[in-house]
Structure 1
Amino acid sequence: MNLKTFLLGTCSAVVIAGFAQAETLTIATVNNGDMVRMQTLTDDFTKANPDIQLEWVTLEENVLRERVTTDIATKGGQYDVLTIGTYEVPIWAKQGWLLPLDKLGADYDVDDLLPAIRSGLTADGKLYAAPFYGESSMVMYRKDLIEKAGLTMPDAPTWEFIGEAARKMTDRGAGINGICLRGKAGWGENMAFLTATSNAFGARWFDENWKPQFDQPEWKATLDMYVKLMNDAGPQGASSNGFNENLALFQQGKCGMWIDATVAASFVTNPKDSTVADKVGFALAPDTGLGKRGNWLWAWNLAIPAGTKKADAAEKFVSWATSKHYLDIVAAKEGWANVPPGTRTSLYENPEYQKAAPFAKMTLDSINAADPKNPSVKPVPYVGVQFVAIPEFQGLGTTVGQLFSAALAGQMSVDDALAQAQQVTTREMTRGGYIK
């Protein structure tokens, strides 16, 4: 063998060995703006970790939840990193489905995570998911349209005011709907909005003995208000609209108000995407004077399933994607207003962020005001603002969401939707042993 052949063979062996050692992480994530942006910025991670390759599975919210839940429950092992919500983390950690995050690195600064967000991701003193962004909900509104209607938006509006404003701002001839709200069925779609809203009306999913409460007047008041308001001032086909659909409508100037996730604030004020970027104001989620506002508490988080064979590589990625360093990358590329919000105390203490993000204080106030342990006016046996933190809720919330979406579409009456919700929920809670 001559020297040239030897060197070529040696180089080939090194290259092959390099490829053999490279690990591919399969990451399941949700199709929204912040997650899609992250995928465009991962060169920073792969340059620092050339032995790790990334493969993305990006799915619509309801589909993501269904597939990830099926995979982890059956130990399918399709994914190495999961994008999951605050609802799943403590339940799945208790079932042994998630690995604790105890190797995030010395510079990660776990103590910098907002206490309200971190507490929902912790079980038995261990962190089981890292928040990519955190959110509550609030009113986003068109300042020009509210002024044209002869009204002034309070910082803390009531539902009565929201209804009046929505109807006055509606101009169907000009293609403007006074209000856009979630109608798409799903426990994390329309039921996130409606459950949080129902808290302000004094409604609750269950009484202290786990008896379903859809036959009570508070739920009737909630759903009546919602359906009538959307019929009077909402967009056509609202029963098909979730977060992404309403975001697009608002950015296109077709909504006077939108009550949804605080994370949307940077999208509706970004002139690259929003035709009304310079006209947007913010207010707290509405109340009815009973002492509770309809603002939820949520985070989209990155977690590692217990069945992965690539745990160390997965935790390196989770650490990178949820770090202060990642926020700096987004700020440098997209501006401070567009960094993922709602996760770190240091972000809300940063003068550059405060200056760039007029919604920062409203977001933090909304997150801190949410009370998962006491979400409604009356006592409840569960934890959760816009969800009930029990395993059965995922199926129940989706079923009830389908009924309420059908009521919005005019396919059944509000009374029928509530009666069926009461029936199916009572049956499932009895079957689950909650009701004796």
Structure 2
Amino acid sequence: MRTHSRRRSRRLLVVTAAGTLLAPLLSGCWAGAGGTGSGGNSINVLMVNNPQMVELQKLTADHFTKKTGIKVNFTVLPENDVRDKISQDFANQAGQYDVATLSNYEIPIYAKNGWLHELGSYTREDRAFDQNDILPPMRQSLTGEDGKLYGQPFYGESSFLMYRKDVFAKKGLTMPEKPTWQQVADLAAKADGAQKGMKGICLRGLPGWGEVMAPLTTVVNTFGGTWFDKDWKARLDSPEFERATRFYVDLVREHGESGAAQSGYAECLNNLTQGKTAMWYDATAAAGSLEAAGSPVKGRIGYVPAPVDRTASSGWLYTWAWGLQKASHNPDKAWKFISWASGKEYEQLVGEKIGWSNVPAGKRSSTYENPRYRKEAGAFQSVMRAAIADARPRDPGVQPRPAPGIQFVGIPEFTDLGTRVSQEISAAIAGRQSVESALEKSQELAEKISEEYEGR
């Protein structure tokens, strides 16, 4: 915990990947439902209700528990609810839950506050887990300021550009192997109207730090901008930040989807699937849906790295990972669960029982060397792996950063700041204000953060 008690409520904010702002953590004592933690030969796991997590829950009793004798009591909640509950239990070290799903945004913050059990001591002893097989950017993003490891990824993602190969061929358009943003803008203009009702590109415009600000911040990074410089000076009014934002807003307004200011990940996924857009820049996780058996565009999508301007790469980095609460009553048994859930054995189990396209990928080198996975995910797996491998969470732009993060700034205050700035950007996309006006207001918001961090 930080020593400055007057800043405590701001420090304890947590974030959601969908960009929803949660309330500050409760300052009073909270013991959770029943007020007791795990014990004996059981552990309590609190996790998000994503499909791959639900599959894990179904497989645990017949495989992990049968093998180890350790019973796992799952609490599975929607994302906003689970983050709220995790923040309360971990902040107060109530110990009701041994393990929880956390992202690479929260884990370094939680580690700094002393809420997590370090995991390096376990990985050194558990050779079968093979920590060196975890992709380096994932390992780095789950490491605290003290250099210790505090999380293990369940699955990971980056971002890349998806496009309709058949539409491009019909129009005589060629997608570069490593496109620049200017090339993408030029292609969007040419692909606009290629089919009836088709737009050149889909880009998120929906308010939320994890909606519009996620892709936009990667554009800012590669255009040479940054939210804060190394001395914590706010830089949203810099020429580079303005150029990137103006480029993004102009592109989506001129050649993007209708209703862009209300379009997020789900809307763009639907647009590409339904033939309403020729290109889409977003999460690598989308490929699984696009290449699913019932997808109308299966086999028609091409995948290339995130577009760039001044940097060699610009894809983001995100992971749902396991964090072990420091107050856990059963840390050794909790590690056995984490080791199994993030291990090679579990990936093999999912591949054989459910299907190789359902494997929680994006975290291990060995996954991408598996012939069965490579065959089923052949359309995108190599580009996906390269995107994650090339991600630079501590050095994503052209200048030193004061905090880790590619599509976010790794400080608790970013939940509020990112969301409020996103509202201004979305208003510019909707045409309700100019980019200049949006960034002027955003700079004022960021300067309030600068005042708290400058001089540290």
Q: Which TM class, normalised by the smaller chain length?
A: 0.7 to 0.9
Q: Tell me the equivalent position of 1:182.
A: 204
Q: Which structure's CA Rg is the greater one?
A: 1
Residue 281 of structure 2 is aligned to residue 259 of structure 1: yes
Task: Please show how residues 52-63 of structure 1 align to structure 2 within 5 Å.
Answer: 52-60=71-79
CA distance in 1, matches of 2:85, 2:445: 24
TM-score normalised to structure 2 length: 0.81
CA distance in 2, matches of 1:186, 1:63: 17
Residue 428 of structure 1 aligns to a residue in which SS?
helix
Q: Tell me the equivalent position of 1:276.
A: 297
Distance 1:268 1:283, change over 3 A: same
CA distance in 2, matches of 1:125, 1:209: 22
Q: Tell me the equivalent position of 2:34.
A: none
Asked if the contact 1:292/1:376 (under 8 Å) is kept, the reply is: no
Distance 1:141 1:334, change over 3 A: farther
Q: Could you list the per-position Cα deviations for residues 57-97 of structure 1 after superposition, in whole angstroms to 9, with x for gaps in the alignment? A: 3324x665455335433446564432221122222112111
Q: Could you list the per-position Cα deviations for residues 7-59 of structure 1 after superposition, in whole angstroms to 9, with x for gaps in the alignment? A: xxxxxxxxxxxxx967462422153x433443443343344456524333332
Distance 1:171 1:22, change over 3 A: farther
Residue 68 of structure 2 is aligned to residue 45 of structure 1: no
CA distance in 2, matches of 1:304, 1:391: 20
Residue 102 of structure 2 aligns to a residue in which SS?
strand
Distance 1:267 1:416, change over 3 A: same
Task: Please show how residues 31-430 of structure 1 align to structure 2 within 5 Å.
Answer: 31=50, 33-42=51-60, 43-48=62-67, 52-60=71-79, 64-75=82-93, 79-101=97-119, 102-103=121-122, 105-123=126-144, 124-171=146-193, 174-272=196-294, 274-288=295-309, 290-358=310-378, 359-430=380-451
CA distance in 2, matches of 1:98, 1:130: 12
Q: Percent identity?
A: 43
Q: Tell me the equivalent position of 1:8.
A: none
Distance 1:50 1:179, change over 3 A: farther
TM-score normalised to structure 1 length: 0.85
CA distance in 2, matches of 1:147, 1:278: 14
Distance apart, 1:267 and its partner CA: 2.3
Instruction: Provide structure 1 residue ranges, at least 5 long, that are not aligned to the other structure.
Output: 1-19
- Alignment: residue pair count: 413
2:335 corresponds to which letter in structure 1? E
Q: Could you list the per-position Cα deviations for residues 252-297 of structure 1 after superposition, in whole angstroms to 9, with x for gaps in the alignment? A: 333322211223222211223x221110111011112x23432112
Distance 1:133 1:325, change over 3 A: same
CA distance in 1, matches of 2:431, 2:97: 40
Residue 278 of structure 2 aligns to a residue in which SS?
strand
Asked if the contact 1:198/1:294 (under 8 Å) is kept, the reply is: no
2:131 corresponds to which letter in structure 1? V
Distance apart, 1:377 and its partner CA: 2.1
Distance apart, 1:323 and its partner CA: 0.9
1:90 corresponds to which letter in structure 2? P
Q: Tell me the equivalent position of 1:5.
A: none
Residue 162 of structure 2 aligns to a residue in which SS?
strand
Distance apart, 1:345 and its partner CA: 1.7
CA distance in 1, matches of 2:86, 2:189: 40
Distance 1:419 1:127, change over 3 A: same
Distance 1:173 1:372, change over 3 A: closer
CA distance in 2, matches of 1:125, 1:378: 22
Residue 210 of structure 1 aligns to a residue in which SS?
coil
> What CA RMSD, in Å, does the superposition of the two structures yield over aligned residues?
2.8
Residue 453 of structure 2 aligns to a residue in which SS?
coil
Which stretches of structure 1, 4 residues or longer, exceed 6 Å deviation after superposition?
none
Asked if the contact 2:70/2:333 (under 8 Å) is kept, the reply is: no
Asked if the contact 2:314/2:396 (under 8 Å) is kept, the reply is: no
Distance apart, 1:425 and its partner CA: 0.7
Distance 1:270 1:77, change over 3 A: same
Distance 1:139 1:64, change over 3 A: farther
CA distance in 2, matches of 1:400, 1:266: 31
Q: Which moved more, 1:75-84 or 1:204-213?
A: 75-84
Distance 1:193 1:77, change over 3 A: farther
Distance 1:425 1:41, change over 3 A: same
Instruction: Provide structure 2 residue ranges, at least 5 long, that are not aligned to the other structure.
Output: 1-38
Residue 375 of structure 1 aligns to a residue in which SS?
coil
CA distance in 1, matches of 2:262, 2:369: 39
